[in-house]
Structure 1
Amino acid sequence: MIFIKKANILQILLLLLVLSSCKQKNSSDKETSEKAKNDTILQIKQGPELTSAYIASKSKSIEHFYNKNWPNKTANGGFLVAKNGQIIFEKYEGLANYKEKSEMTSTTPLHVASVSKIITATVVLKLISENKLELDQKVNTILKEFPYPDVTVRTLLNHRTGLRNYAYFTEKKGIWDRHKILTNQDILTIMATKGIDLEFRTDSRFSYCNTNYAMLALIIEKVTGLTYKDAMTKMVFKPLGMTNTFVFEYEKDKLTATPSYKRNFAKVNLDYLDAVYGDKNIYSTPRDLLKFDMGRNSSAFLDSKLLKEANVPYSNEYKGTKNYGLGIRMINWPTGKNFYFHNGWWHGNTAAFITLPDESVTIISLSNKYDKKVYKVKNLAALFGDYPFKLSDDEKEE
């Protein structure tokens, strides 16, 4: 009897071991499956394959434009033009790091400055599509400290809040010690405790303001429970295969991120505003921004109804063609033709992001040496559609 009891005990122990092993395996399989799901790169459908004749014709015109604006290799950054997700022309010239004499390449991440806003806005729109956020939700229902009761997520996105620019009100005496690095949370706390009033009544007019997007970054963190960096990585960078894109973290990246320069290659030093994100502080490449543009314009990544709403001009108090949507600048001509873009400038970094959804064209130009010619790449839109931009004779298609 004793032997039988021992055998029974051994059998029970063996059974428990097997069940525990199966449970661990199932849990491990679930975790592996979840990780694989999060790491999956979305397959964004491209348009029809371009013919070699089409590519040759367009690339010749683009090269003329490039050489005229940056003769004798005077560019310092990356430049790309693509249609249907296929690169027609790209160029990488200059130095990523002047001191080290390291060359600019297609994988060199550059600070895209305010082009970061369109990426921040896209994550907000994705959270709305997942019913984790509402477009017309009051900000003070999300960020409890937020002191302006009429400001909504929508008015943050379209710059109609009336908030003041944090770069200006933190300069005032007694508001902030500029020897200390400013954070997004610091901006919110200052507005809540230092009597920073609105510049104008919310939703009465447009005023481009970086504070709006610093607050949107905090909203992303509150809603997702992730840091802004992790949320961007999980929701945009990984799904779209943007392998050379990251959010700048001041303490971690200040010595290793690609520096920026004045026109004479004098390095621009970081300052107390360089830890704020959402409005800026994404580093990327032209190729990665092409992936982002393809994703943003694909219903597989972003709800098409929300994209349509993002491309609506929201500030119509005065007649004009220039306007702003939800994270995107635009020009709306009386002909019905629309041009969508976002420029950026921070320290010595300049950036231009142009998306032409009607023609499935993407134009990207980035530089880490201050260069206003970066913004002229908008003229290349005239090669692809009925856009009233001027190209000189040697820049036109032959």
Structure 2
Amino acid sequence: MKNLYSLKSILLIVFYLLGLNTGFGQSKAEQIEKLMTFSHETGQFNGSLVVAEHGKVIYKKGFGLANMEWDIPNQANTKFRLGSITKQFTAVLVMQLVEQGKIKLDAPIVTYLPGYPPQAGEKVTIHHLLSQSSGIKDYTNLPGFRNGGSQNALSPEALIKLFADQPLEFEPGEKFAYSNSNYVLLGKIIERVTGSSYAQYVQDNIFTPLKMQNSGYDNSSIIVKSQARGYEQNGDGYVNASYVNMNNTYAAGALYSTVEDLFLWDQALYSPQLLSAKSLNLLFANQMAINKNSYYGYGWYVGEVSNLTKNRLRIAQHSGNLPGFVTRICRMPSDKNLIVLLNNTTNAPLREISDAISAILYDKPFTMPRISLAKTIFEIMAKQGLAMGVEKIKQLKNSEAYIIQEVDMNEGAYQLLQAGKMQEALEMLKLNAETFPSSGNVYDSLGEAYLKTGNKELAIINYKKAVELDSKNDNAKKMLNELTR
């Protein structure tokens, strides 16, 4: 297991937290270097990035290791799994076919997949799929997929069978609900309409024309040269990430690329090289409201912020998340600014890092990303025991230098459970529930932890709370049925 922290990183924390990060007297590239050095030294970034201003690259660099076994460094041409950033490529392919008259945005699924169950297939349109407003359940959250199914290679048809007969969660177009199933269906529709595989079609119609020579469709059985390996943080070190069969992410998440290639992608979206101006406008339009200030376009989150410029600044962005990989792309089209962050360790705070880089680009003060409390607590509990861990929670949980992240706390608790440290895990999960009282997943995890400690009564209470907060939590429902029958 690779060691994560060092005396150098501790000194960096003290130095940066004492200073005011105004960037006075430093170029933007120097400020980004300062930010990224801190982020890497404190275990919060291990990957590659590119930053462009007014259409020109001002910063490009790799940090940490692409392969920790062989000490191979991350570089600008290192290939990373993109996860859900894949969706914007799928959306462009669909819009190309719309321009060719082969697909209609208002046509229902059954027009292209006639065997799809009519209760959803006749209601859900291509527009609903693109804008994440279909009401179709996300197959990645279904028990059959979560409980080991993700490791077995599934064809697109098999993936679709996982969710096709599930009832719609709401009427299509009623609201936004992110679902990977939408883009799996779009991938299959692309194949049906073109007669080509999704992998070949994205290669022929995006990667080759744009000379994105280090991008492609990932496949677990194929060796991809210069590809980063994924890792998960485990206390004060790293372990190999859980295996995921990339076939099962398909048109929703199976592409890989580099920061250099994604700069080419960004630039192409300012020209008619891939799509007409009309189609590009649809891609980045406010297609479906998420909340007051945020919308989903076609494969992009879009919205406006008011803290960077005098007038509201429009931003298009998306993130990706796979075992061992976290990714983020952020565009400011009015100024042709771009931030791409590709990271080959889990739970990196890329939004915070991206926000800091955005502030630098617009000459605003920025703050360093806060340090994950979960990692600190995990290390103390694993090495010094329960009492010391609880004491440290009391000391640090309100510190501005630390951040409590739901996913980090959950994963740290599960690692403690696996190590047989039941009470330590429960303390982390209790803090998580205290911090995120409206998260059904937190109580689902608490229920599991109590069950492992033999406390059936508290397990039932927490599973009930999980379902109360999230009626779509199928795992909690299943456990309640088993525990109360």
TM-score (norm 1): 0.76
Provide the residue aligned with 2:438 in structure 1.
none
Code of the residue aligned with 1:238 in structure 2: it is: T
Letter matched to residue 380 of structure 1: I
Per-residue CA deviation, residues 228-287 of structure 1 (Å, 9 max, x unaligned), is 110010011111111111101233349995321102321113245753311101111101
RMSD over aligned CA atoms reads: 2.8
Matches within 5 A, 1:314-353: 314-316=287-289, 320-333=292-305, 336-353=312-329
Deviations 1:190-248 (A, max 9, x none): 444xx311111111110011111111111111122111110010011111111111101
Total equivalences in the alignment = 333
The residue that corresponds to 2:286 in the other structure is 313
In the alignment, which residue of structure 2 is the partner of 1:90?
60
Letter in 1 for 2:255: I
**1:123 lines up with 2:93 in the alignment:** yes
Q: Do the aligned partners of residues 384 and 305 (structure 1) sit closer, same or farther apart at CA in structure 2, a change above 3 Å counting?
A: farther
Question: Structure 2 vs 1, CA of residues 369 and 339 (structure 1 numbering), >3 Å: closer, same or farther?
Answer: same
What corresponds to 2:358 in structure 1? Answer: 381
Work out which of the residue numbers 102, 107, 119 in structure 2 matches 1:132: 102
1:226/1:284 CA distance change after superposition, 3 Å: same
Q: Give distance in 1, aligned partners of 2:77 and 2:226.
A: 15
Among residues 231, 254, 273, which one is paired with 1:281 in the alignment? Answer: 254
| Aligned-partner Cα distance in 2 for 1:392–1:256 | 33
- Going from structure 1 to structure 2, the CA distance change for 1:257 and 1:90 (only over 3 Å counts) comes to closer
Q: Which structure: greater helix fraction?
A: 2
CA shift in 2, pair 1:275/1:191, >3 Å: closer
Q: 1:392 aligns with which of 363, 367, 383?
A: 367
Structure 2 unmatched runs, 5+: 1-25, 369-485
For 1:334-382, what per-residue CA distance to the aligned partner results, in whole angstroms no more than 9, with x for missing partners?
8543211001111120001011110011110001112422222133223
Higher relative contact order (CA 8 A, sep 6+): 1
Deviates most, 67-76 or 338-347: 67-76
Distance 1:160 1:232 in 2: 24
1:159 paired to 2:132: yes
State the structure with more CA Rg: 1
1:107-136 per-position Cα deviation (integer Å, ceiling 9, x unaligned) = 211011111111111111122122221122
Gapped regions of structure 1 (runs ≥ 5): 1-55, 394-398
| Per-residue deviation, residues 149-182 of structure 1 (Å, max 9, x unmatched) | 1111111111000010111225279x99667422
Q: What letter is aligned with 2:194?
A: T
Aligned CA distance change for structure 1 residues 378 and 222 (closer, same or farther; 3 Å): farther
Q: Residues 89 and 374 of structure 1: is their aligned pair in 2 closer, same or farther, counting only changes over 3 Å?
A: same
Compared CA separation, residues 178 and 124, structure 1 to 2 (3 A)? closer
Deviates more, 1:299-308 or 1:351-360: 299-308
Mapped to 1, the partners of 2:105 and 2:281 lie a distance apart of 14
Report the equivalent of 1:181.
153
Q: 1:295 aligns with which of 263, 268, 274?
A: 268
Corresponding residue SS for 2:326: strand
